[in-house]
Copies of this chain bind each other. A is one copy, B any other.
């Protein structure tokens, strides 16, 4: 019963199988291989467009920072939520990759940026004030760090305002699949159709061994050469790229990624039900594969006694439970049992 993180789960077996399957024969290095070429076609299907370019890395931090470094100059800033992963958990990667750009933090409940705060900020900032650090990009995280989902309509509203202020729109989609499942949106609706210029399509938390695709849509394709150069320079152009491409291909094949995300979401919903039933307060609406609760000490003890593993000291006195493709009904039932068992005396 381990709910510590979806990054702790193994990869789905199909992913390892696919890697083994491409492991024969000589292949051109650095992304010129035929597996990568095949992946392009698959991505075009999934995103319903040919008007894109892409690159892959094995790390969400790398993909976010590479993506943003193509749109935010060293003299600019990236608008993001104050609890965004790029702010809290990526060791200043954006600052590093942009050459000293800055994150400009915005508030909002459930780690969703408050639209008015965003619009007010843009309304007040003076891009030609030479002493300031004007915004060059907006980064939305979907799911957010609190497990909440932006709808395509919400994304579109942010994107329209961003573009009006000449900002590029980035989406950190480390849990993109989970957001799609919750909202019922298609990949296209949640990305380029809503105005997203560059998407970090996370597959690792969903079930890959380590693969995060950066997609450049529409006019943002002009950055493809720079993206590759920056990737190379940052050590994110490993020679045997076929092993990254094979992971993505396996995940997208037959919609596996969405099935896995749906499963994780379903387990989270069930877990939320268990908590609700037991009277435990949910901190946020459960819209993906994460459940945040405020546990009494008593319940905390009950869970730890039964070896239920989770993030017990999330900021704000919360506990975080993450479900993954590998979470089982039995895991959830284990939580129910732990919470419901008679107190030891």
A contact residues vs B (CB 8 Å cutoff): 2, 4-5, 7-11, 13, 16-17, 19-20, 22-30, 57-63, 65-66, 73-75, 77, 88-93, 95-96, 98-103, 128, 130-133, 204-205, 209-210, 225-226, 228-230, 232-240, 243, 309, 326
Nearest opposing residue in chain B for A73, CB measure: B226
| Contact, CB under 8 Å: A57 / B130 | no
| Contact, CB under 8 Å: B236 / A59 | yes
Q: How far is the CB of A116 from chain B (nearest CB, A)?
A: 17
Lowest 7 CB-CB distances: which A-B pairs, in order? A62-B235, A99-B99, A7-B239, A95-B100, A91-B233, A59-B235, A2-B26
Nearest opposing residue in chain B for A22, CB measure: B10
Task: Report which of B24, B100, B103, B209 forms a contact with A10, defined as CB distance below 8 A.
Answer: B24
| Contact, CB under 8 Å: B20 / A229 | no
| Contact, CB under 8 Å: B29 / A8 | yes
Nearest opposing residue in chain B for A63, CB measure: B235
Copies in the complex: 4
| Contact, CB under 8 Å: B23 / A4 | no
Known: A7-B240, A8-B28, A11-B240. A234 touches B23 (CB 8 A): no
Q: How far is the CB of A26 from chain B (nearest CB, A)?
A: 4
Q: How far is the CB of A228 from chain B (nearest CB, A)?
A: 5
| Contact, CB under 8 Å: A23 / B10 | yes
Task: Report which of B13, B25, B74, B130 forms a contact with A23, defined as CB distance below 8 A.
Answer: B13
| Contact, CB under 8 Å: B75 / A230 | yes
Measured CA separation A13–B20 after assembly (Å): 8
| Contact, CB under 8 Å: B91 / A101 | no
Task: Report which of B58, B89, B233 forms a contact with A93, defined as CB distance below 8 A.
Answer: B233
Task: Report which of B89, B99, B130 forms a contact with A229, defined as CB distance below 8 A.
Answer: B130
Residues in chain B near residue A95, CB distance under 8 A: 74, 95, 100-102
Give 30 A-B contacts (CB < 8 Å), ordered by A residue. Answer: A2-B26, A5-B239, A7-B29, A8-B239, A9-B26, A10-B26, A13-B20, A19-B209, A26-B309, A58-B238, A59-B239, A61-B235, A62-B234, A62-B236, A65-B235, A66-B235, A75-B230, A89-B132, A90-B233, A91-B130, A92-B101, A93-B234, A93-B235, A96-B233, A102-B102, A102-B103, A131-B232, A204-B239, A209-B243, A210-B243
| Contact, CB under 8 Å: A130 / B326 | no
Known: A11-B240, A101-B92, A240-B11. A235 touches B57 (CB 8 A): yes
